[in-house]
Amino acid sequence: MNNTVYSEVTQRAQAFITDADDDFFSTRRVGLEKETLRIDASGHIAQTDHPEALGSALCNSQITTDFSEALLEMVTPPCPSVNQALEHMVGIHQFILPRLDNGEGLWNTSMPCVIDGDDSIRIGQYGNSHNGIMKQVYRRGLGLRYGRRMQAIAGIHFNYSMPEAGWPLWQSLHKHTNATDFSTSTLGYFHMTRNLMRIGWLVPYLFGASPAICQTFLPSGADSDLSTLNKSTRFAPFGTSLRMGEIGYRYKEDAPIDLSVRHDSFENYLHDIFAHVTTTHEAYAKAGIKDEHGQYQQLNAKKLQIENEYYSSVRPKQIPEKGEMPLLALKRTGIRYLELRSVDVNIYDPAGMHIEQLAMLEMLMLFAWLADSPPLMPAEMDVNKHNVQTVAHRGREAGLKLNHQNQATPLVEWGQRILSSLEPIAQWMDSCNQVDGIPNLYQHSLQQQMNKINDPSLTPSARIVDELDQHGSFFSMVMARSSEHKEALLKQDANASLQAALAQSVPDSIAAQQALEASCDGSSFEEFLANYFSQLDTAT
């Protein structure tokens, strides 16, 4: 991005508004995924099985688990707007909470609750079908490679697909000529991916809500530069999102491995991930695919067991056919939507997210769509990563500067430029997207975010640090808030048709898992894995 990028965004926004119809956004889709730990009455990570009353974690598309048996994952379908997606997410919470037994609750923040060592983080169980066993073994591999603590961190994924009419307009606005085999939409989504990575630091600054952790998250004897509140709480005084920082989601740096992926073109992106899922890593081979008891402890000894092991703040996505590897679905049909993965669970909202936050995330998608997006080279990717980690640990520090176009640029100045360029978009979106009870949602959200840029004390991370003394510890604060959120959600009127559909998903998902288990034709799990990964042999 050159120095005129922000004026160009504003100019393209004006041209876009002139050309677009008022119903332009009618075909855009928003989906939400939220991870949250189940906790017992004492605030420890739950040791119970995934509740049967929630259906099959393998086959229920809206209520499943992520890494651990206690890490619930709630998934909305693609929705026509941010408010409808949020309403659906609220409904999933309202369905889950009454079905938790033994005083269990939901830990409504990203960094984990009390952890009694890695063994207290039970790996998810998915039944006896080959698909279910593969899902569990993959998680065993993650635990083997990176440790289980990291896998107990929760987050929110914001999934977004542009309106169908957006791609001819994008092609016109950027004077782009499609000279490859990929569709315009795939080129456009990858264009957006690069830009979202360039401004990726803005998400933890505005919405980071994990500046503190329970001491139990750190391994015994581990060094840390975090400040100490008391024996149970560590925090970064100016931090925003430790989840996105050095102790959050990242690859181990004590086991050298090159997992870089080029973002200069979609073709090279696919090529590099393909290489990682087909190249053996000596350390993983030495550890063994099976343990001393003959049990699988990883799917394979490749750099990445499967493509989902590649961690990135933005992930291009495609819906695969039954049994198809997602990587090959991307290669075959291109990008269908983007998954923004850098959003913390918001402790100040019962559902872990707020409508104005979602409105801002949608506007950032449009910024990425409108801005120029030159090839993202390795050196710039390193800069982007460093900017995110700097903001994660020091984002509210007075006078903080980030690396922008190889120049030390004040965070405040850079943030103001990005947000100011979105003013015409916010005004137009409000004229096209009337949200009941929230007039001028997008303009109001934009102003709120500008206020945070100008005054860091308004960020959720600053509020959390300020409240730590009041509650005495991070643990006490989150327990109190999580209890309040549970009561608020259960008192709120629920959508009867959604609750009925979620109730029906329970027996339907259990029956689907039983059918999968019955369909195993006598073939071994080894044969199943060999057949699955044989797809890579025929890919070119």
- Where do the structural domains in the chain lie, given as residue ranges? 5-538
Note the pLDDT tens digit of each residue in 18-65: 888 888 888 999 999 999 999 999 999 999 999 999 999 999 999 999
CB-based burial label for 259 (10 Å; 0-12, 13-18, 19+): middle
DSSP readout, 99-142? G--TT-EEE-SSS--B--SGGGSPBP---SSHHHHHHHHHHHHH
Could you report how far apart the first and last alpha carbons of the chain are, in Å?
A: 33
Q: Predicted confidence band at 5 (pLDDT cuts at 50, 70, 90)?
A: low
Reported as a single tens digit per residue, the pLDDT across 295-336 is 999 999 999 999 999 999 999 999 999 999 999 999 999 999
Residue with the bigger pLDDT between 258 and 199: it is 199
Q: For residues 84 and 28, what is the distance between their CA atoms, to the nearest angstrom?
A: 12
- pTM for the whole structure: 0.96
147 phi and psi angles, rounded to 5 deg: 85, 155
φ, ψ at 524 (rounded to 5°): -85, 165
Q: Residues 479-502: what's their mean pLDDT? A: 97
Report pLDDT digits (tens) over 92-140.
999 999 999 999 999 999 999 888 888 899 999 999 999 999 999 999 9
CATH: 3.40.50.2000, 3.10.20.600, 3.30.590.20, 3.90.45.10. Which one for 5-538? Answer: 3.30.590.20
Mean pLDDT over residues 508-521, rounded? Answer: 93
Residue with the two structure tokens 């137009």 = 428
Q: What does the pLDDT look like over 226-271, one tens digit per residue?
A: 999 888 899 999 999 999 998 876 555 445 788 999 999 999 999 9
Angle at 273 between CA 250 and CA 256, to 5 degrees: 45
Q: What percent of the chain has pLDDT over 70?
A: 95
H or E stretch covering 6: helix 5-19
DSSP alpha helices (H): ranges in 315-434? 326-333, 355-370, 378-394, 411-420, 423-432
* Cα Rg, the chain, nearest whole Å: 23
- State how beta strands 407-410 and 401-404 pair: antiparallel
Rounded-to-integer distance, Cα 275 and Cα 258, Å? 11
The closest alpha carbon to 381, from 461, 274, 268, belongs to: 268
The whole-angstrom separation of Cα 329 and Cα 509 is: 24
Mapping DSSP to helix (H, G, I), strand (E, B) and coil, where does residue 31 land? strand
pLDDT in tens, 414-462: 999 999 999 999 999 998 876 666 889 999 999 999 999 999 999 999 9
